[in-house]
């Protein structure tokens, strides 16, 4: 039976006029019905339901950190040292990122958190859009480039206003996608560590728990 099969059969031009009139009234309730019924050669196609936005694509994250300008990101292994260095915005930070295995066009949003493994509390987090490029040496995936720490997430953990020492103790680093097009996350145990140098003692001091203003000397 066609789209108008339940309507009275038209045997003349006047009959089709009556069919069209009925179809127009039904068309007010069923979009497209009047058009289909105005011509017996036209069939009514079902209206597809709105499928909504596409499902996000799952990707794999392999955590790493920024070393020095011009050097590629260093991948992290479980329990590895996570360098903490002076941050341009003040304080001392770990600059973290991820090698991403999966199709990622253009800049993508990511979130990083430094988590106390004894309580599950987040000490510091950072979210931003990062640019990614092909991993060096023909390795699989894409990652932040070596020339700009702005494409890494800045976890300014010190001054430490929490209750647990940052420097030299195990913490949990969590990374996840913050982009509606993609889904993926990774968690790894790390040991945030102040790097040796002229600011080492200041870094260790600011990474101690319960920081108060000027505790370690005049601000930078």
Give the chain's domains with CATH numbers.
7-46 (no CATH), 57-207 (2.60.40.10)
- Residue 19 in this model has a pLDDT that exceeds 80: no
Which of these ranges, 53-62, 91-100, 113-122, has the smallest mean pLDDT?
A: 53-62
Give percent of the chain with pLDDT exceeding 90: 61
For 111-163, the pLDDT digits (tens) are 999 999 999 999 999 999 999 999 998 899 999 998 889 999 999 999 999 99
How many angstroms separate the first and last alpha carbons of the chain? Answer: 82
19's enclosing H/E stretch is: helix 13-27
> Per-residue confidence at 36, pLDDT binned at 50, 70, 90?
very low
For residue 84, give the nearest of 175, 186, 185, 208 by alpha carbon: 208
> Per-residue confidence at 4, pLDDT binned at 50, 70, 90?
very low
26 or 20, higher pLDDT: 20
**β-bridge pairing 60-65 and 74-75:** antiparallel
pLDDT of residue 32: 43
pLDDT of residue 18: 61
8 or 169, higher pLDDT: 169
């Amino acid at each position: 039976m066609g789209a108008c099969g339940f309507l009275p059969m038209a045997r003349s031009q006047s009959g089709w006029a009556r069919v069209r009139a009925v179809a127009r009234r039904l068309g007010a309730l069923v979009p497209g019905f009047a058009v289909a019924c105005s011509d017996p050669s036209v069939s009514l196609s079902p209206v597809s339901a709105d499928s909504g936005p596409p499902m996000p694509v799952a990707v794999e994250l392999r955590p790493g950190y920024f070393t020095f300008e011009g050097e590629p990101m260093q991948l992290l292994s479980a329990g590895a040292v996570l360098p903490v260095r002076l941050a341009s915005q003040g304080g001392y930070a770990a600059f973290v990122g991820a090698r991403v295995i999966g199709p990622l066009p253009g800049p993508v949003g990511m979130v990083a958190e430094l988590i106390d493994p004894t309580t599950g509390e987040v000490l510091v987090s950072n979210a931003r859009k990062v640019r990614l490029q092909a991993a060096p040496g023909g390795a699989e995936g894409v990652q932040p480039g070596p020339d700009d720490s702005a494409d890494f997430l800045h976890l300014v953990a010190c001054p430490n206003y929490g209750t647990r020492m940052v420097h030299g103790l195990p913490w949990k680093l969590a990374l996840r996608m913050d982009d509606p097009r993609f889904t993926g996350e990774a968690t790894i145990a790390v040991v945030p560590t102040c790097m040796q140098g002229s600011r080492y003692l200041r870094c260790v001091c600011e990474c101690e728990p319960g920081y108060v203003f000027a505790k370690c000397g005049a601000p930078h």
